[in-house]
């Protein structure tokens, strides 16, 4: 059973930045495309950023130009650098493979508010 542990969230003001991390307990992490997802109150979980095993990235329009996904295969970790945060980015953030192969972790709360 793969475990996913997200960290790095918190409460920030609009315009500020956060970096999220997610560690996956799988030895062949490097073979999987990874994604960051978020679920805002009253909304469905959505994929906002993905990175292939080869490092190619793609983003939802809502975060394009502000968020950057990256990975460190040596640490089994995927990151999400979030800049210029907006109140509408408030959500619980999750990572998973880009095919959502694994059981979801607990996620990490990100709140953007003045």
Per-residue pLDDT of the chain (114 residues), as tens digits, is 899 999 999 999 999 999 999 999 998 999 999 999 999 999 999 999 999 999 999 999 999 999 999 999 999 999 999 999 999 999 999 999 999 889 999 999 999 999
Q: Which two tokens stand for residue 63?
A: 């975060």
């Amino acid at each position: 059973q793969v475990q996913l542990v997200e960290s790095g969230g918190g409460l920030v003001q609009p315009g500020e930045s956060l970096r999220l991390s997610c560690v996956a307990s799988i030895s062949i992490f490097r073979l999987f495309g990874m994604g960051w997802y978020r679920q805002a109150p009253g909304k469905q979980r959505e994929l906002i950023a993905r990175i292939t095993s080869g490092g190619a990235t793609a983003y939802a329009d809502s975060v394009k130009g502000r968020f950057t996904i990256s990975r460190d295969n040596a640490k089994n970790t995927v990151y999400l650098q979030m800049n210029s945060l907006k109140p509408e980015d408030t959500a619980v953030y999750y990572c998973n493979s880009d095919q959502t192969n694994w059981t979801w972790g607990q996620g990490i709360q990100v709140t953007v508010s003045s």
